[in-house]
Structure 1
Amino acid sequence: MTVTPIDLFASFIQLDQDGRVHTGAGAGDADGWRLTTFYARTDADVHAGQWEVHPEAEKVVSCLVGKMRLYLRPQRPGQQEEEITLTAGTAAIVPRGRWHRFELDTPCNIMAVTLPRGGRLEERAEP
């Protein structure tokens, strides 16, 4: 097998349950974890106006470059959103099934790892 560099900003990496790791065509067809890296310039790039949830797994999100905020939706009426600031080189683990969203303070390079199946988006109602 030839080992070649992977452009993390051009494709994602699939980490299959059987131990295989691949990218490019066919990635995502198997059952496993997905590592995604992307550059976000604006809140629109991280769908700041929507809540996201992954009911089948936790999610690791890391700010590689820049500064951003991770918000966790309240679990009960009357509670406030939890706000977690992520700066370059930091990460957070979003609990399985917890609705979350992001806002940027500066443009960011972001890396995320989760099981992609079952993920959903929901429009955020403005407070």
Structure 2
Amino acid sequence: MFENYDLFKTFIQLRTGGVAESVNRREALAGAGESLWTIGAFHAEDDHAVHSDVWERHTQGHEVLVVLSSALRVYVREEGLVATLTAGQSFIVPPGRWHRLAVEEPGDLLSITPRAGTEHEKAVA
């Protein structure tokens, strides 16, 4: 009935009707089930961990990024570096804006991401 979850190993999916459930990350990333939002935590040890070589956008909603520990840089394609976030700081990415992250100092990140309309594109160096 009551369970606790390790957000570094699972995702919490928020579904229609106020339902929240824990799901296996592999299933969630493969698109198993439909959710409105996915909540997850990530160890951001290096740029590879935050796919800094990939632009991402969410056409159907805002993405919320929360730095739990460390320092991360947020880039928006049209504007370049827009923020350097440290522990306890957050950033809301508006719908449809291409963005990517880079690690300034290794640590942990929490994201709340809309599932519908997410797109990725390789960043050109």
Q: How does the TM-score come out when normalised to structure 2?
A: 0.89
Q: Which has the larger radius of gyration?
A: 1
Aligned-pair CA distance for 1:82: 3.7
Choose 56-65 or 115-124, whichever is displaced more.
115-124
How far apart, in 2, do the equivalents of 1:108 and 1:54 lie? Answer: 24
Helix, strand or coil for the counterpart of 2:48?
helix
| Residue in structure 2 matched with residue 122 of structure 1 by the alignment | 121
Within 1, Cα distance between the matches of 2:116 and 2:36? 9
Structure 2 counterpart of 1:23: 22
Q: CA deviation at 1:117?
A: 2.2
Render the CA deviation track for 1:76-121: whole Å, top value 9, x for unaligned. xxxx414201100110000000000000011121111121122111
CA distance in structure 2 between the partners assigned to 1:55 and 1:82 by the alignment = 21
- 1:44 lines up with 2:20 in the alignment: no
Q: Which runs of 5+ in 1 are unaligned?
A: 75-79
Structure 2 match to 1:101: 100
Question: For the residues of structure 1 that align with 2:102 and 2:63, how far apart are their CA atoms?
Answer: 17
Q: As a proportion of its length, which structure holds more helix?
A: 2
Q: How many residues align?
A: 120
Q: Which of 38, 54, 58 does residue 54 from structure 1 map onto?
A: 58
In structure 2, the partner of 1:72 is 76
Q: Please say which of residues 87-96 and 2-11 is displaced more in the overlay.
A: 2-11
Q: Which amino acid aligns with 2:40?
A: T
Q: Secondary structure at the match of 2:85?
A: strand
Cα deviation, residue 63, structure 1: 0.6
The equivalent of 1:87 in structure 2 is 86
> How does the TM-score come out when normalised to structure 1?
0.87
Q: Which runs of 4+ in 1 moved over 3 A?
A: 25-28
Does the CA-based 8 Å contact 2:40-2:111 persist in structure 1? yes
RMSD: 1.5
Structure 2 regions of 5+ residues with no counterpart?
Answer: none
- Shifted more, 43-52 versus 24-33: the winner is 24-33
Return the alpha-carbon distance in structure 1 between the equivalents of residues 23 and 112 of structure 2.
Answer: 17
Q: Report the AA paired with residue 39 of structure 2.
A: L
